[in-house]
Amino acid sequence: MNDIALIPPSVQLVDSVLLADGSTRYTVGHALEAFKARMMPSSWITIGYALTRAASDLGFYDFDLKDVPWDKVDYPVLQRLIGIWKTDMAGATLKLHVYAVRGLLRSCFTHGLISQHAYALLSEVKAAGDTNEVGRGKYVEDVNRHKLLESCEVDERRTLAVRDKAIIALLFGAGIRRAEAVSLEIENLDLSQGSFRVTVKGGRFVEKYLAGWAIKLLQEWLCVLAEQGQTTGPVLRRVSNGGRALNDMKPGGLYKALELRSLVAGIPVVKPHDARRTVATNLIRAKGISFAKIALGHKSITTTQRYDMTDSDEIRAHFRSQMA
């Protein structure tokens, strides 16, 4: 823990006041409550722990979170915080803490407590990326996929939440690569048939299929886009702070969106390729490796075999069940 206050505890918070024009000058407490309202209660517990650690490292030990002057956290202070955390946090934990603080700072910005220039600088502060230790991705249990979707249902940022559900639908409902997902065009979707056509690795234009549960989520997103007058072009898009669907999304943007959604849902960070591995494993279990090879578009069955994430506990349980 840092023993030097990054923000002097003597800094005073600004009280909420009704201005002459009838508008309200918001407080950090308002920003905190708005940030909290976006999350499920279970997610807030995790984020709350991260903010409590951040408050302590800022010099506000045993303070209520609403009494910490988060609006005074600027670019150098956030960099110092990350420097402190790098000494004793794993990559995923560090990202969670940075997400918690930056999310609250974003809420401070939208409540008029941080200037646009200061917030633009804060947005440039990055946490160090972590690496996949085994290089195989991981299997995502259904319970965590459901938590991703549940976090979208309670998120007040409607456009962003519906967009994220569409991301989850494409990745977990079709098992496609992130580059394929961001290249998908609205006109190449046929949700009545539960299929779409997309350019895959190698430049081929092929037909892919969606899980039944994923179709409704994509329909919901297409309705949001239609409300904004966007009926052609890329399916997945960036979303502005004001809830406007913008232009196309890049593979890195999709990666980041899924990472942030995982943190909001309070689950271990899910990466796009984890979804593909999960779909592959489920296909292999349900229909066999030859079926999975065709569905995933692999040229070699050896590649498909590497996608099987069946773990040793499941294998052991299977052999123990064979009693005769």
Cα(165)–Cα(140) distance, rounded to whole angstroms? 16
Per-residue pLDDT of 235-270, as tens digits, reads 999 998 889 999 889 998 899 899 889 888 888 889
Place of tokens 């075999």: 305
Q: Do both 197 and 117 map to the same domain?
A: no
Query: pLDDT grade, residue 10 (50/70/90)?
Result: low
Domain with 265, as residue range(s), is: 142-306
Q: Classify residue 314: in a domain, yes or no.
A: no
Q: Do both 60 and 156 map to the same domain?
A: no
- With 90 as the cut, is the pLDDT of residue 70 above it? yes
Query: pLDDT grade, residue 315 (50/70/90)?
Result: low
Q: Classify residue 316: in a domain, yes or no.
A: no
Cα(168)–Cα(217) distance, rounded to whole angstroms? 9
Q: Give the count of domains, the chain.
A: 2
Looking at residue 24, what is its pLDDT? 63
Q: Do both 184 and 98 map to the same domain?
A: no
Q: What is the CATH number of the domain that holds 148?
A: 1.10.443.10
Q: Do both 181 and 227 map to the same domain?
A: yes
Q: Classify residue 209: in a domain, yes or no.
A: yes
- With 90 as the cut, is the pLDDT of residue 4 above it? no
- With 50 as the cut, is the pLDDT of residue 42 above it? yes
Q: Do both 38 and 86 map to the same domain?
A: yes
Under 8 Å between Cβ of 35 and 51: no
Over residues 226-243, mean pLDDT: 92
- With 60 as the cut, is the pLDDT of residue 281 above it? yes
Q: Do both 191 and 115 map to the same domain?
A: no
- With 80 as the cut, is the pLDDT of residue 321 above it? no
Q: Classify residue 318: in a domain, yes or no.
A: no
Cα(144)–Cα(263) distance, rounded to whole angstroms? 11
- Closest listed residue to residue 77, CA positions, set 52, 54, 100: 54
Q: Classify residue 7: in a domain, yes or no.
A: no
Over residues 12-17, mean pLDDT: 48
Looking at residue 87, what is its pLDDT? 82
Q: Do both 146 and 101 map to the same domain?
A: no
Q: Classify residue 6: in a domain, yes or no.
A: no
